Structure 1
Amino acid sequence: MSAGSKLLSALSAAALSSTVLAASTVTMGLVTLSEAEAAVVNRVEVRGNQRVDADTVRNLIEIKPGRNASDADVDAAVTKLFSTGLFSDVRARQQGGVLIVDVSENQIVGDVIFQGNNKIKNEQLAATVQTATRAPYNASTAQADVDAIKAAYVRIGRSDATVSVRTVAAEGNRVNVVFDINEGDRTGIESINFVGNNAYGDSRLKQVISLRESGLFSFLQRNDIYDEDRLRADEEALRRFYFNRGYADFRIVSSVAELDPNKNRYFVTITVDEGERYTYGAVNIDSTVPGIDAQALQSQLKTKPGETYSAEQVEDTLVNLTNAVANQGYAFAQVTPRGNRDFANNTISIDYVIDQGARAYVERIEIRGNTKTRDYVIRREFDVSEGDAFNQVLVQRAKKRLEALRFFKTVNVSTAPGSQPDRVVLVVQVDEQSTGEFSVGGGYTTGGENSGPVAEVGITERNFLGRGQFVKVSAGFGEDTRSYNLSFTEPYFLGRRLAAGFDLYRTENSSSTAYDIKRTGGSLRLAAPITEDLTAQVAYNYKEETFGDDRGVQVFGPNGLPVFVNGQPFFSTCGNTPSGPLYTLSPIINRAICDSPYSTSSISYALTYNTLDNQRDPRDGLFVQVGQEVAGLGGDAKFLRTTGRGSFFSLLSEEFDVIGQLSAGAGNVTALGDDLRVFDNFFKGQDIVRGFKYQGIGPRQFGVAIGGTNYANASAEVTFPLPLISRDLGFRGAAFADAGSLWGLDNVGNQLGIEGEDFSLRASAGVGLIWASPFGPLRVNYAAPLAKENYDKLQQFSFGFSSRF
């Protein structure tokens, strides 16, 4: 081949190669371009929508025209549309550059209807469910609402309630949602059993917890409703009970509530491990902080060697020591108890170690869960506020105060990191509970101005308008009596821990004497805590009293019997004393009646020392109150009245729940200036010595009680559960002995026929039956007088409302 031919052949080959390469490149370019066009969305088309705007759907899926959309992007868009709850079905597909989104809209809920419910109101159920009017209907949500309604019925003690849901088509692609409810019967608690308890019997532990076995009055007290949260709270109550009685190793092994569907009753079993009982060993205070004298803090200790260990006493000691060192200027000092168990001798030695803690400040206090109670009502229970040094002991003390308010089912206080390493956020989580009470009580009272059948209707609100204020309105009715009362208390007056309030009352009585008694009055009061146990009170009081009625005063003869004229009781008017051997009830009483109406304006003050473990049903502690009332700041009365009373409670037998009580009281009233009006005397009887009538002891004129200027009394009592009777019924027995006297007169005028002016001791002994009824505490007493005077009026049997102190 010639050179020219070789060159031509090479050029041809190169050209062919270039052509093939170019063809190949074009082909590859066409493939790449086709795939890119298939992945880019040029337009989003929405189909099937009726109420939801197409642009709304486009905005929700976040796939914009002109951008690539992978299969994962499309799947994410479908998921997001489903999550809105607007659609029952969503499908998406690509056709060329068009993304087609097919939707089926959920129907809109027209009405939410509850049928068959009586025990829970529609408004309460509506707040329980998530299905709501004008919202999209969702079958899963509706089924969840069925479970929520069932749970609501479990909480009110109806565990066998059944709930179903159905839909009814309505106009405009709407649907009405109907919840059909069968409330069933009340689900009670058949039995509460304890396993592993040796130190205390089942009956004693049942008094510690709030759950109760179903009984005769359970439908009123409603404490036989099982609730898991209440069982958890009862577990904590049992722990506190044992920890405060020396059982530092106590633990709850298990607590199980089993529902018997045939009986519709729960069987509750609580298994415990009591452990050993401990006493205090050595108790010391050690300080690593220069300047703190540990020896000087010994007076703050509540724990003493040899006494039974109590977790509450340890907590109180921590608070005392923390406050003491803080008052000395050591705000960041931390007090930590370190216990050392001696298993051989069952003792716990405690060292309270005071260290310089880390500098941490409270950045803020966050309140959560309070739907009714105002934030400041919760904040004021804390002794720390924003900017103060953080102290865990004071925080726990605030938690106990919040729980004691009885505004909340649960109170939890936790901490969270603040904006700086030395800042702490306090988070207070509360769960509100009902604080209002409507009470209806009744009974039969023997003795006193209000003897006979009595009834009382009252409304009490402990957290008025969420401000923590106490309001009570009540009205009492008897056969010949009426009473009306209004009380209001602001526990934090002027932002300080001062309890200020007022009382208004009106009483009318015509049952116990031959003359009517009407009293109208009120008081303004203020109470300030001096220590945790000592409180000072001061009050201004005003009342007006009227004795007698339009008929005048009933006339009695020398034999003490009423005088009748023409078959009707004979009454005389003041200033018109009948002639002959006739006299009214008593010349001294008659004089006071004729002087009425009578007004009393006074200032009273008192000190109260209270260490009772329970204000309603004390088992341990001391209550002492002394006070004076000075009348004469206006009004007609002028006197100085001094009174004092005290009660000491002690649990004589923990296992058998036997409680001992010693009580004493005394009083004196002295005229300031003029003579003392008879109705300003003390009138005593069965209120200090049982077995005697109301006004049954003390000075008398012609057999009529005229009161005395002095009294003194003392009593001893033991109460105990009744054998063979369930404690859940609320019955207790009592045995008691009383002694006392009423004496002294400061009334000038007719002194004829007076007896009993001098001191004379009265005494009695008896038994009683106490019933913690749904209408209030009732009590029946039978007392036999052991020491009395001939002119005393006896009443061995009495029945009425009960008060422990």
Structure 2
Amino acid sequence: MSRFARGNLGRRGRAKLLAASVFLGAAGSATLMPHVVQAQTYRFSAVEVTGNQRVDASTILSYAGIARGEAVSAARLNDAYQAIAASGLFERVELVPRGNTLVISVTEYPTINRIAFEGNSRIKDDDLATIIQSKSRRVYSPSMAEADAAAIVAAYEQQGRLAASVTPKIIRRSENRVDLAFEIVEGAVVEIERISFVGNRAYSEGRLRRALGTKQAGILRRIIRSDTFIADRIEFDKQVLRDFYTSRGFVDFQVLSVAPELTRNRDGYLLTFTIREGQQFRFGQITTVSDLAEVDADEFQRAANIRPGQVYSPLAVENTIARMERLATRKGLNFIRVEPRVVRNDRDLTLDIEFAVTRGPRMFVERIDIEGNATTLDRVVRHQFRTVEGDPFNPREIRESADRIRALGFFSRADVTAREGSAPDQMVVNVDVEEQPTGSLSFGLSYSEVDGPGAAIAFTETNFLGRGQLLSFRIDTGTDNSTSRLVFAEPAFLGRDVRFRFSALYAETDGRFNSRFDTRQIEISPSLQFPLSESSRLELRYTLGESNIRRYEGNAQIIQDDADRGALTTSKIGYSYSYDSRRNGLDPNSGIRLEFNQDFAGLGGDLEFIETTALIGAQTMVWNEEITLRAEFEGGVLSMLGNQDSRLLDRYFLNGKIRGFEGNGIGPRDLSTPDNEALGGTMFAVARFEAEFPLGLPEEYGIKGGLFADVGSVWNLDNNLSGVDDSFSLRSAVGVSIYWNTPIGPLRFNFSEAVKKKDYDRTQNFDLTISTRF
């Protein structure tokens, strides 16, 4: 941009100057008109407008409001000046009486030729252009330019750059045009150096800091944006603290104040939350009452999933109310409402809950209006409602539907409200949403304990064609393998609460097992999943696949026999039952997870077998939620049918299931071969125990420690030959872990030592994995 003299248009200073010129002009006219009896009163037979180019003279006269022949005082002239100047159309305004003629002289604001941003690097020009109101080919307005500068500063404040400043400047061009430039000084990010708490007794500062969305500045501060000071986020954090404490029984919890304080160098904030915890309450007596003849209070009482002595949780109360109201719906009882009545017992710190089953007002859902969904189809949003037009109106169900809409992840904003419809007993539900991107294309590096380093490319769309469907395609390449996987999922199959999923897999390995042979696998699998209860799911599936072993170069007769069988087809049906207590939200610190799977092969294909696997896991947090304890038990059995022998590709190797050993490092082996080649087993059982705890490092580093102990075994072969050891023998390993939450994902470094092993087992003292949470 060429450089001309730049200047700020100070409107307030011009107003004072021009107002003075009006009065000076009026005084001069009074000396030239001695016949006027009262020097401050004028009558104009004509009004002349000069200097206007785009604005009509009639428009200017309408702003002035002075009629011909009307008696006009000096104060009225000043009012006329103020009205014209306030229109925002003129850079200069003068009202000069000349005898019987009032001359209104104006200079119009120039037209904006172009808009430029200078000094910005953190926010792009295109993004800044959407923030400001000034536009090219429109009239320049100093007040609007100042407002635009303030809006740009606010955008930088959202990024934690509180020292940002923006100065609007103009460059004069020909034909009454200007270039508008915003000179931006972005400033440094003002980080949160320290978050502290006053008044906390039950939980440490570290535990409370982990619950907040705002984080302290850490070693990855240039990547993690949650460590910047954003005022709006503080209100969110206050609500997070309230939810944290109330879900743990602290019903009197209060955030008394939040005090942000700038450091001495003004480059960081010290954030202090002053809180009042109060006492922790537990559930006392749980009763159900009703004055409705058609309601059996005892039956509704059995629907309550709260037990006396449990720590009080509002979510548990809400879940019980929802269960009771669903029970009423199943029994054909409409307009039933359940009201919780709480009795506080300060002496023993309990809350007695009485669920009163009453009849609510007779109101119906007239219609559901959906707005803002430019991409997502209406039916995707409507499926989140358990009610339709004409059903009884239930405010609780509407709130739950709003939560389900937000949980889709398709919208950046989703507001669900209800208003009166065409009649007092008719309600209209309004859904106002704002779309957000739902697709992603990622490239990255990966590491697997079995396959080593590799690269990956993945495309995922969670709202395919606006239908709420999932479409995912991923290609992984490792040192000795490549895998391609396609997944499609419809969460509302045939308009019901049934999830349909289709997956396709193609995988090849080059020396996957001891670098002795290659494998190829092709597989497709459609499945249906539906809920059985609040905490359990059932999946039905069918799998059709083909796999084979190629180019075997080893000496194990069992593996050679598998290779000689060539490519075999597997056709199987199966089911999976899963239970997760965390879904009901009764205890935020503990959870139980159960999985049971069975597959039956033999519906066509070359193989006949029954495969059964099971897993049960539990987690709890102790010592004021500073230490997390986990335990998992897992096992599986592969039972071949029709006098068939199992194949190496179908057997278990415990890769990734027990630490301290290499991939294929334990289990049955052919001891007659030079390398004691691994064969896998048809049975396995594993128990894993671990504890995760803080190391005393600053929480912003995201580093925690852990201890673990694994014990298990894989055994049994149905085609045993001489020289093969497939006996049951426990292996165990202990070790320490380092957990590190990084922007690329939670990493886990395991340092292990095998305690119990076989002489031919292959141990591994270190591995790096992507950490998974219970």
Q: TM-score range by the shorter chain?
A: 0.7 to 0.9
Task: Say which SS state the counterpart of residue 317 (structure 1) adopts.
Answer: helix
Partner of 2:283: 280
Change (3 A) 1:611 1:408: farther
In the alignment, which of 751, 770, 780 is matched to residue 749 of structure 2?
A: 780
Partner of 2:611: 641
Aligned-pair CA distance for 1:479: 3.5
Indicate whether 1:754 and 2:753 are aligned: no
Task: Say which SS state the counterpart of residue 319 (structure 2) adopts.
Answer: helix
C-alpha distance after superposition, 1:203-261 (max 9, x if no partner): 00111111111111233333213323322222222111111111011111122333448
How far apart, CA to CA, are the structure 2 residues paired with 1:439 and 1:592?
A: 38
Give the conservation status (yes or no) of the 8 Å contact 1:613–1:620.
no
How far apart, CA to CA, are the structure 2 residues paired with 1:250 and 1:729?
A: 29
Partner of 2:560: 590
How far apart, CA to CA, are the structure 2 residues paired with 1:80 and 1:431?
A: 41
Indicate whether 1:536 and 2:538 are aligned: yes
Larger C-alpha radius of gyration, 1 or 2? Answer: 1
Deviates most, 405-414 or 645-654: 405-414
Change (3 A) 1:382 1:291: same
Change (3 A) 1:43 1:350: farther
Give the conservation status (yes or no) of the 8 Å contact 1:160–1:261.
no
C-alpha distance after superposition, 1:166-189 (max 9, x if no partner): 122344433322222222333322
How far apart, CA to CA, are the structure 2 residues paired with 1:317 and 1:91?
A: 74
Name structure 2 gaps, 5 residues minimum. 1-43
Partner letter of residue 309 of structure 1? Answer: Y
Give the conservation status (yes or no) of the 8 Å contact 2:118–2:183.
yes
Give the conservation status (yes or no) of the 8 Å contact 2:589–2:625.
no
Give the conservation status (yes or no) of the 8 Å contact 2:652–2:682.
no
Partner letter of residue 215 of structure 2? Answer: R
Task: Say which SS state the counterpart of residue 130 (structure 2) adopts.
Answer: helix
Aligned-pair CA distance for 1:506: 4.1
In the alignment, which of 706, 726, 736 is matched to residue 708 of structure 2?
A: 736
Change (3 A) 1:600 1:183: farther
Partner of 1:291: 294
Aligned-pair CA distance for 1:635: 4.8
Partner letter of residue 537 of structure 1? Answer: E
Task: Say which SS state the counterpart of residue 560 (structure 2) adopts.
Answer: helix
C-alpha distance after superposition, 1:31-62 (max 9, x if no partner): xxxxxxxxxx999997654335678889x989
Indicate whether 1:423 and 2:426 are aligned: yes
Give the conservation status (yes or no) of the 8 Å contact 2:534–2:584.
no
Give the conservation status (yes or no) of the 8 Å contact 1:638–1:676.
no
Partner letter of residue 596 of structure 2? Answer: V
Partner of 2:739: 770
Give the conservation status (yes or no) of the 8 Å contact 1:443–1:453.
yes
Change (3 A) 1:733 1:337: same
Partner of 2:638: 669
C-alpha distance after superposition, 1:416-464 (max 9, x if no partner): 4434322334445556666556666546544x2x1x3345454545455
Aligned-pair CA distance for 1:327: 2.4
**What are the residue-to-residue correspondences of 1:115-130 with 2, within 5 Å?**
115-130=118-133
How far apart, CA to CA, are the structure 2 residues paired with 1:526 and 1:645?
A: 21
Aligned-pair CA distance for 1:103: 6.1
How far apart, CA to CA, are the structure 2 residues paired with 1:511 and 1:164?
A: 65
Indicate whether 1:706 and 2:679 are aligned: yes
- Please provide the CA RMSD for this pair: 4.0
Change (3 A) 1:601 1:221: farther
Give the conservation status (yes or no) of the 8 Å contact 1:63–1:69.
no
How far apart, CA to CA, are the structure 1 residues paired with 2:584 and 2:357?
A: 32
Partner letter of residue 340 of structure 1? Answer: V
Indicate whether 1:314 and 2:278 are aligned: no
Indicate whether 1:692 and 2:661 are aligned: yes
Give the conservation status (yes or no) of the 8 Å contact 1:535–1:608.
yes
Task: Say which SS state the counterpart of residue 136 (structure 1) adopts.
Answer: coil
Task: Say which SS state the counterpart of residue 242 (structure 1) adopts.
Answer: helix
Aligned-pair CA distance for 1:284: 1.0
Q: TM-score, normalised by structure 2?
A: 0.83
Task: Say which SS state the counterpart of residue 617 (structure 2) adopts.
Answer: strand
Indicate whether 1:745 and 2:720 are aligned: no
Name structure 1 gaps, 5 residues minimum. 1-40, 555-583
Give the conservation status (yes or no) of the 8 Å contact 2:371–2:433.
yes
Partner of 1:516: 518
How far apart, CA to CA, are the structure 1 residues paired with 2:126 and 2:186?
A: 16
Deviates most, 47-56 or 696-705: 47-56
Give the conservation status (yes or no) of the 8 Å contact 1:408–1:431.
yes
Partner of 2:396: 393
Give the conservation status (yes or no) of the 8 Å contact 1:491–1:497.
yes
Change (3 A) 1:268 1:69: farther
Aligned-pair CA distance for 1:193: 1.0
Give the conservation status (yes or no) of the 8 Å contact 2:285–2:308.
yes
How far apart, CA to CA, are the structure 1 residues paired with 2:80 and 2:389?
A: 47
Aligned-pair CA distance for 1:198: 0.6
Indicate whether 1:623 and 2:625 are aligned: no
Give the conservation status (yes or no) of the 8 Å contact 1:715–1:738.
yes
C-alpha distance after superposition, 1:559-618 (max 9, x if no partner): xxxxxxxxxxxxxxxxxxxxxxxxx24122123234444444443421221223699x99
Give the conservation status (yes or no) of the 8 Å contact 1:439–1:775.
no
Give the conservation status (yes or no) of the 8 Å contact 1:456–1:476.
yes
Partner of 2:697: 725
How far apart, CA to CA, are the structure 1 residues paired with 2:93 and 2:324?
A: 67
Q: TM-score, normalised by structure 1?
A: 0.80
Change (3 A) 1:500 1:365: same
C-alpha distance after superposition, 1:509-563 (max 9, x if no partner): 3354222334444433332223232122233434444544xxx433xxxxxxxxx
How far apart, CA to CA, are the structure 2 residues paired with 1:69 and 1:192?
A: 69
Task: Say which SS state the counterpart of residue 345 (structure 1) adopts.
Answer: coil
Deviates most, 536-545 or 240-249: 536-545
How far apart, CA to CA, are the structure 2 residues paired with 1:698 and 1:186?
A: 55
Change (3 A) 1:403 1:713: same
Partner of 1:651: 621
How far apart, CA to CA, are the structure 1 residues paired with 2:83 and 2:485?
A: 62
Partner of 2:193: 190
C-alpha distance after superposition, 1:617-658 (max 9, x if no partner): 9952122111223344555444332222121111123342x1
Change (3 A) 1:47 1:227: same
Partner of 2:34: none
Aligned-pair CA distance for 1:104: 4.9
Deviates most, 459-468 or 641-650: 459-468
Give the conservation status (yes or no) of the 8 Å contact 2:362–2:425.
yes
C-alpha distance after superposition, 1:69-89 (max 9, x if no partner): 999999999999878765556
How far apart, CA to CA, are the structure 2 residues paired with 1:173 and 1:233?
A: 49
How far apart, CA to CA, are the structure 1 residues paired with 2:403 and 2:314?
A: 14
